[in-house]
Every structure is written in C-alpha cells, then in structure tokens.
Structure 1
C-alpha cells in the first residue's frame, strides 16, 4: 500500500501542478489502534508554483481526492487523501492547530522532500498553545462521547475516539507539551494499573485482533472515567492563560525559503 500511496501522491503533483513537501498517516494507523479494515488517512502539505502566489484569485487552498475521483491512478477504497497548501498550513500552524502538529509528528511518513517539515518541527515547541490544543481535544472528546457512547448499547470501538483526545488533554495538563501520537504511549504514562486500565487494554487487543466491536453493552467503568475527566478538563481549560510569541516573521521566512528551494 505504501508504494501505491506514493504513486497517488506523484500523480496529484502532476495533475495539480504542485510539489508535495510532506505526506503522512494521520488516523488510527498512526494512533496505534487500526482495525483490519481501517482507512489509510493520508495527509499532505504542498506548494504551488510561484505565479499562483502572484494572483489576486488564488483558488482553493485544499486538495481532496475522493475515492471515486477520476485521477489517473485509481484510489483504493481504503485510501483517504487530502492536503493543505503551504500558506494555509502556516496560518494554522501559527494558531497551534493540533491536527497539523500531529501530522508533523506522525510516526508513519509516506513522503518528504525539501526542508520545510523539519523547520516546522523545530518551531513547533514555540507555537504550542496548551489552551488551543486542550480545547481541541476536549471538544473532540465531548462530541464523540455525546454521539456514540450515551445509550445502553454503544458502538464500542468509538471508545478509542473519546479516550485518545481525553488522554491527550491530560498529557498537556501534566507535561505542558504536545502529546505523543500513539495511544499506547498515552495509556502507559497516564493510566495506572487497575480495573480501568484492564478494560481499556482488553478493548484495544480486541480491536487490533480484528473483532468487529459493533454495538455492545456500555462499559460503565470507562464512561464514569470519561464523565469525570471531561468535567475536570473543562475547568483546567478555562484556567489556562498562556502567552505565545507571534511566530509570523519566522513563518514568512519559511514560506519564502520553501518557495525558492522548490522552484528556484
């Protein structure tokens, strides 16, 4: 699949007349709890040719490739591909956008060219906003919790899509740094041995072994933990007031350097 992904990325460059700077996995495969039928969530950052940036009508700053898109290379049914144009990515980076920060720290890279990714990773600690990232993870957790885990019978695999953002927010509270991508790293650091940890470990083993994990009785022990942590993290998020130095000057330099590095 990795070779196919790289072929698709190369074709996107040709079809859209762009250069891809970096591409990675951003979904459950990077988080460490894929199912046998999990999508490959490929995300990338790209740059247009110089003249595109000299136009008053620049057009879209996102490329999305639906599975039925008539691209020259057919998209596999498990492949979900989309990318952000560099200046869009830099504006989001300035706001400490958690998905983008996760892309830069993904443990599954599909493609990297030029120096942009490493420059952004070096700057990531300076733009990291505990408040912005905590609210992102907390809102993700609350939305998934309300939608999937409230009935007597729930979509049991959705626990991971609430647990991971909750643990990511707890990591920020504990360490004041960007949380690791891998779910297991969060669990091992933040959850002590005991009944809750056992329930989560069993669920993780079942998911990764290929169990369907569809509708099953709610796991009250995990729900109680989630209720408690959501309330606690809401209080924590409201208490945050951290000043971040404006990185715009550095980001402008990265953009100009990348434009020159890629296109000459």
Structure 2
C-alpha cells in the first residue's frame, strides 16, 4: 500500500523513538471509505531519565489532525504500557502489532511480533464477543429515533466475530474482512464492503437489520464454540513474560538520553 506522506512525516516528528508504527482501523480491516481517517498505531520508548524522574510519564502520545485532506489519528504507547496490554486478552494491540500495513519498523518490532504470537490465549475470545455485541447494540440505536443505522458498525460486528473465530481456531491474527470472508463465504458481506469502500464513512445500511440477525447469532455461537474447543492456552507462559520483561529492560538500558 502507498501511504500518504503525512504518515511517515508523523513518524519522523514523533517526540520519542518508535519501535513500530502500523496502520489500523478501516484500512487494516479492508473497507476504507474515501473519507476514512488513517489510524496510525505504534510503540514508543520513553528515555530512562524520564522514567526515573518525578515528572508525569507520557506513556501515551496522541496526535489528531487534518492536513491537505488527510485525517490522521496517531496513538502510540510506551513499550511498558504496550507490553502490559499484550499480557491481557486485548485483541486491539495484537492487531496493531501484527498489522501488515507497516509504516515504520525495527529489529525490536520483529522480536515483539514473535513474542506476541505466544501471547494469544483462549480468553481473547471474550474481547471479540464483547466488541461484536457492542457494535450490534450500537446498530439499533438510530432505529429508536426513526433513523437508518450506519454501515460501519455492521461491518465491525461481522469483522470482529470472524477475527475471533479465526484466532481461536488457528492462533493467527487476521483482521482483514475481505480475507476472512473468503473463508467464511457470507454472501452479503462482499456487497457491503464494496458499498463502504465506494461510499462515505457514515453510509446507511439501507436494509432492515433482521436480515442479518440470523448470521450474527450463528457466528456468535460459533465463536463461543471455538472458544470452548480451542487448543490455545488459558494464560501467557511464564517464559514469554520473562522474555518480554528482558526486552523492555534492554530497550530502557539501550537509551542514551
């Protein structure tokens, strides 16, 4: 993918060294609209001097701006905070870490990717079950006001369910809905994706939601079953935690500030 120049420019302007910066959001999920913003996510390393001082830590850096028609949403976490999130059943950070849309990388990023594969547990299913249920509920809110629901949360609903099922069955992080649907074969999804790609961020669904409900319920049940049947471990192994800790120490001690 050819990235807008604003993305590498944001990486270069970041106040701290970055281990990686990848694209998340609609571009990663395979259904960006012409007006979708660019969600840039990554990990920075705070200098040891700041970590040891009494000053408040910038363990999260956020930049949200519009430049030459490109809307950029940049969020990076300090390495310690990101690693702590990796050790929880947090699907977001795994998707960011394993995103194939890489704007900036480093040898430590490659290390983190390998360790991240060993941080996947059976309880990541709860992340995707909760997120999909929340998006399905969000879809119904406009109906209460006599308005049409938007296409975006409908796609997010099925994207998260299919990502969760794939993760439980294979242990691999796959966030692209086009790729996921090539495996699942839901006939309506390809059309919805094309509409989202060719429309705008808040494109309405245009159909009654009940035509999607059976598939929503079926996939929710499938994810619950995949969670029960998975061979993924219940928690991250102690040796993986130790390796992540050692990586963090090396990152801190390697700082020359």
Q: What TM-score comes out, normalization by structure 2 length?
A: 0.85
1:143 maps to 2:134: yes
Report SS of the residue matched to 2:19. strand
Alpha-carbon distance between aligned partners in 1 of 2:204 and 2:92, rounded to the nearest angstrom: 27
Partner of 2:184: 190
Q: Which runs of 5+ in 2 are unaligned?
A: none
Q: How does 1:46-85 map to 2 (within 5 A)?
A: 46-67=44-65, 78-85=71-78
Alpha-carbon distance between aligned partners in 2 of 1:75 and 1:116, rounded to the nearest angstrom: 33
Partner of 1:71: none
1:225 maps to 2:219: no
Q: What whole-Å deviation, never above 9, does each CA across 1:10-53 have from its counterpart, x for those lacking one?
A: 2222xxxx211210101110111111111100112101122112
Q: What TM-score comes out, normalization by structure 1 length?
A: 0.83
Contact 2:118/2:236 (<8 A) preserved = yes
Partner of 2:161: 166
Q: How does 1:22-61 map to 2 (within 5 A)?
A: 22-61=20-59
- Range 141-150 or range 37-46, more displaced: 141-150
Alpha-carbon distance between aligned partners in 2 of 1:60 and 1:258, rounded to the nearest angstrom: 16
Contact 2:20/2:109 (<8 A) preserved = yes
Alpha-carbon distance between aligned partners in 1 of 2:166 and 2:194, rounded to the nearest angstrom: 23
Alpha-carbon distance between aligned partners in 1 of 2:182 and 2:120, rounded to the nearest angstrom: 23
The Cα shift of 1:98 comes to 1.6
Q: Which runs of 5+ in 1 are unaligned?
A: 69-73, 192-196
Aligned Cα root-mean-square deviation (Å): 2.6
How many residues are matched? Answer: 247
Alpha-carbon distance between aligned partners in 1 of 2:96 and 2:152, rounded to the nearest angstrom: 23
Alpha-carbon distance between aligned partners in 1 of 2:6 and 2:161, rounded to the nearest angstrom: 34
1:87 maps to 2:89: no
